[in-house]
Amino acid sequence: MNVSARRLGSRALNDEIRRAEEDIIIEDCFGERYIGSGASSITITINGTPGNAMGAYLDGATIIVNGNAQDAIGDTMNDGKIIIHGNAGDALGYAMRGGKIYVKGDAGYRTGIHMKEYKDKRPVIVVGGSTGSFLGEYLAGGIIIVLGMESEAFPVGDFTGTGMHGGLIFIRSSTPPAKLHKQVTVSLADDSDMGFINEYLMEYADTFGLSIDEILRKPFYRLAPNAKNPYKQLYTIY
Amino acid sequence: MAAFDIYPEYEIVRNNERCTNCRVCEKQCANGAHIFLTDKNRMAADDAKCVNCHRCVAMCPVRALKIVKTDHTFRENSYWTGKSIKEINRQAESGGVLLSSMGNPETYPVYFDRILLNASQVTNPSIDPLREPMETRVYLGSKPEKVVRDEKGRIKVDLPPHIMLSIPVMLSAMSYGSISYNAHESLARAAAEAGILYNTGEGGLHENLYNYGSNTIVQVASGRFGVHKKYLSSGAAIEIKMGQGAKPGIGGHLPGTKIVGDISKTRMIPEGSDAISPAPHHDIYSIEDLSQLIYSLKEATGYSKPIIVKIAAVHNVAAIASGIARSGADIIAIDGFRGGTGAAPTRIRDHVGIPIELALASVDNRLCDEGIRNRVSIVAGGGIRSSADVVKAIALGADCVYIGTAALIALGCHLCRSCHTGKCNWGIATQREDLMKRLNPDWGYKRLVNLLNAWKHEIMEMMGGMGINAIESLRGNRLMLRGVGLNEKELEILGIKHAGE
């Protein structure tokens, strides 16, 4: 089913999507917000630039964006997949619990804050380019991978992983990360780590038609939480 | 370090003539304050472990126990009190942030106690609720600007979603995890029985309680624990928690030791992992961002549920509420500085925020002045102790109130303010199976329903006395209030006259 977003506005467009029982292709998307909020099962393809909060609470649907996406994509996403053939804005995958977000280009500030995992639910974000500061703050679970494909510069900003108490962040880079908070430990990813993320890297390469050899050309640094309970020693009970 | 030993605050007094060494007190005290001395064949007590929760006192079959505040004292000093000295010693020893629970217990002014209600005499006669209809029902949600009629003169009914309450009281957010399953079940069943709503708090909703959905407010906080499509769809309303009266400006932290079994399952995080709610929502830095979360929730639930935004009462609360009213929220919940919590840093609990009475009056004023009061309902919480507080809050401009501490007291809480230890002897703020089962939801919910019914009757009597027969006519009706012992500024903010005027 094809829908043109032109002159519909966010609410009417989203009504159409909620009613859709089959896969849907949205043409002429110019910043319409909340696309696919809470959607399950269907595939939504967007030609254009969707607005903020796309795929919030996503519950199994697949969203493919042929263009750039804006802020708060995949907020509290539970399951499904978001593929962005461009850049993503700030607060990508906030508090995401399951599913995958693959971004071909860059992502903004506050990517993957407070992602968490539970049993078979393990959220995964892979960003092909770079991300801004505050990547993976309060990370409680899941995997964030930043590839920095197009640049030699270290591909993430400052304050990466501050407050993290679960999950893993992998950063592909020739140089190690600097200035990490003491709550974060860093090591070079070993074979078992690479085996652990291989399926996501393969799927990512496949999704965007990239060479897996090129992706694996540089080493990956693995960021893990320093302690399971970072706030434990802070309090005096009386 | 014995030299710095802190003398216990309370002493356990045992009447040895009555005590039969039945050892019930020993079994009942999770803090281990009672000890049986086998060699001496008598009970003894370790006062240092007593939190003054009265469990042993209530369970002692021969009334042999009482707890008294110690008369052991420091040299009298009205500035450096014993409390200050003890707290400094605690911190000098541990280097830790002082942690405590429940609401602010300090001696700040209580405006509810400086406000008196009106009653009719001679003219506008009072109404007897026993023989005349009295409406205590309220609807929460956004109200339209004006009545619109179609070409045939019929009223166009295209209202945003509302929730209906039989009385203007709701049970405020207390998460499963901070309180026990039995406590949560009691709240849910009481809400259903009384025709009101309870609030899940930020710990998700236990699968057994989904069938109370139409009496449930599901909360979305910065940690987003247990938030998913089914959860959002199951409640009658969704609350975005921006802040909490007991600890404005800071987040929450349920320690990993409490993330066990069903708590882990309901929050959807692994057992033993800390549940950290960051202080801010990291996707909300502005009213526009808040609006975005509101609408993403509305979109996810097909615009079928009102969205509540809960904030702590802080200095600029009126301006903040004005922003929220314009952001698409249907209901604003304001939580005053007396609001309770399962754990908060003491300094935050006791020194941050403002009284709900002042916050409520200024928010209602501001929204009325700006002509946007109809866009939102206002829920006032944080220290509502009785039906008189409810009536005063409504006359100050609230649509309804949230009660938390009062509800827990009905369930057995004795306000020992030790929730953060996880060893609640009354089975409320604990996840220990043996303690939790002390709260039986079958009688817990009945006690709570009794309380709500009693308050309902009292509310009707107070309204009747004023010659008012519907809550609608009481809301924001400040002519029904007079201040006693308040200064000009306080009266101005509250928007009320002084008694005698």
pLDDT above 90 for B272: no
CB-nearest to B296 from A37, A113, A117 is A37
Asked whether B259 and B272 are in contact (CB, 8 A), the reply is yes
Facing B299 at nearest CB: one of A34, A40, A229: A34
Q: Which residue has the tokens 């924001």?
A: B476
pLDDT tens-place string over residues B148-173 = 999 999 998 889 999 999 999 999 99
CB-based contact A194:A215 (threshold 8 Å): no
Would the ipTM clear 0.85, i.e. be above it?
yes
Give B409-466 pLDDT, tens digit per residue. Answer: 999 999 999 998 999 999 999 999 999 999 999 999 999 999 999 999 999 999 999 9
B5 touches chain A (CB under 8 A): no
- Cα–chain center distance at B159: 30
Among candidates A34, A137, A235 on the partner chain, residue whose Cβ is nearest the Cβ of B296: A34
Write b or e for each residue in B14-23: b if 16 or more Cβ atoms lie within 10 A of its Cβ, otherwise e: beeeebeeee
pLDDT of residue B337: 97
Q: Name which of A119, A96, A180, A107 is nearest A145 in CA terms.
A: A107
Report the percent of chain A where pLDDT is more than 70.
95
pLDDT at B3: 58
Judge: A116–B274 Cβ closer than 8 Å, yes or no.
no
Among left, alpha and beta (phi > 0; psi -120 to 50; other), residue B369 is alpha
Q: How far is CA B336 from CA A22, B240, B276, B313, in A?
A: 49, 17, 23, 5
- A173 vs A125, A135, A193, A218, B299, CA distance in Å? 17, 15, 15, 6, 39
Domain boundaries, chain B: 2-96, 138-150+166-474
Q: Do A140 and B301 lie within an 8 Å CB cutoff?
A: no
**Quick check: A235 and B96 CB within 8 A?**
yes
Q: Residue A228 pLDDT > 70, yes or no?
A: no
Percent of chain B residues topping a pLDDT of 70: 99
User: Per-residue pLDDT averaged across A90-99, rounded?
Assistant: 96
Mean pLDDT of A104-121: 96
Could you identify the residue written with the tokens 């001496």?
A: B40
**Which positions in chain A touch B274 (Cβ < 8 Å)?**
140, 165, 228-232
Does A56 sit within 8 Å of B98, measured CB to CB?
A: no
Could you tell me which CATH number the domain at B2-96 has? 3.30.70.20
From CA B309, how far away is CA B299, in angstroms rounded?
Answer: 16
- Chain A contact set for B223 (CB, 8 A): 95, 114
Contacts of B229 in chain A (CB under 8 A): 38, 40, 57, 59, 78
Given a cut of 50, is residue B1 above it in pLDDT?
no
In this prediction, residue A7 carries a pLDDT of 86
Q: What is the pLDDT of residue B35?
A: 96
CB B210 within 8 A of CB B231: no
For domain A92-233, is the CATH number 3.90.1150.10?
no
CB B395 within 8 A of CB B472: no
**Contact: A95, B223; criterion CB under 8 Å:** yes
Structure confidence at residue A2 (pLDDT): 92
Mean pLDDT of B247-260: 86
Q: Does position B315 have pLDDT exceeding 70, yes or no?
A: yes
What would the mean pLDDT of B11-26 be, rounded to a whole number? 96
Which CATH superfamily hosts domain B138-150+166-474? Aldolase class I (3.20.20.70)
The mean-pLDDT minimum among B51-55, B127-131, B392-396 falls in: B127-131
Strand runs labelled E in A134-233 = 140-146, 166-172, 184-188, 220-225
Query: Has residue B251 got a pLDDT over 90?
Result: no
Residue type, B140: L
List of residues 6+ apart from B41 with CB closer than 8 A? B21
Cβ atoms < 10 Å from Cβ of B131:
8
Residue of B nearest to A15 (CA): B302
How far apart are alpha carbons B42 and B21 in whole angstroms? Answer: 6
Q: Tell me the pLDDT band of B220, cut-offs 50, 70 and 90.
A: very high
The reply to whether domains B2-96 and B138-150+166-474 share a CATH topology is: no
Mutate to test the interface with B, among A11, A13, A37, A92 (most CBs of B within 10 A): A37
B380 shares contact with chain A (CB less than 8 Å): no
For residues B285-297, give the mean pLDDT.
96
Beta-carbon separation of A97 and B228 below 8 A? yes
B48 touches chain A (CB under 8 A): no
Question: Is a pLDDT exceeding 50 seen at residue B82?
Answer: yes
> Scanning every residue of chain A, which has its alpha carbon at the shortest distance from the alpha carbon of B6?
A238
Say which of B95, B273, B299 has its CB closest to residue A228.
B273
| Interface test with chain A among B224, B254, B307, by most A beta carbons within 10 Å | B224
The mean per-residue pLDDT over the stretch B274-281 comes to 87
Residue of A11, A134, A231 with shortest CB distance to B253: A231
Average pLDDT over chain B, rounded to whole? 95
- Cβ <8 Å between A38 and B420: no
What is each CA distance from B303 to B413, B432, B467, in whole angstroms? Answer: 38, 40, 38
In the numeric block, which tokens belong to residue B348?
């935050």
Q: Which residues pair with A223 in a beta bridge?
A: A169, A186
Is the CB of A114 less than 8 angstroms away from the CB of B283? no
Tell me: pLDDT of A234 over 70: no
Nearest to B389 by CA among B404, B377, B373, B374: B404
Q: Is B269 on the interface with A (CB under 8 A)?
A: yes
Cβ atoms within 10 A of the Cβ of B27, count? Answer: 12
B280 touches chain A (CB under 8 A): no
- The Cα–Cα gap between B403 and B339 comes to 9
Q: Angle at CA B182, nearest 5°, toward B176 and B187?
A: 75
E strands in B6-110: 10-14, 34-37, 42-45, 65-69, 97-100
Is the pLDDT at A237 greater than 70? The verdict is no
| Confidence check: pLDDT of B177 > 70 | yes
User: How many CB pairs (< 8 A) connect A and B?
Assistant: 146
Shortest Cα distance, chain B CAs vs residue A82, angstroms: 17
Length of chain A: 238
Average pLDDT, rounded, for chain A: 94
Determine contact, residues B252/B281, Cβ cutoff 8 Å. Answer: no
Residue B260 has pLDDT above 90, yes or no: no
Establish if B49 touches chain A: CB-CB under 8 angstroms: no
Q: Which parts of B135-180 are beta strand (E)? A: 138-140, 163-165, 169-171
| Average of per-residue pLDDT across A92-104 | 97
Pairwise CA distance, residues A174 & A219, whole Å = 6
Alpha-carbon gap, residue B350 to B348, rounded angstroms = 6
On the 0-12 / 13-18 / 19+ scale of CB atoms within 10 A, B207 is exposed
CA R_g for chain B: 24
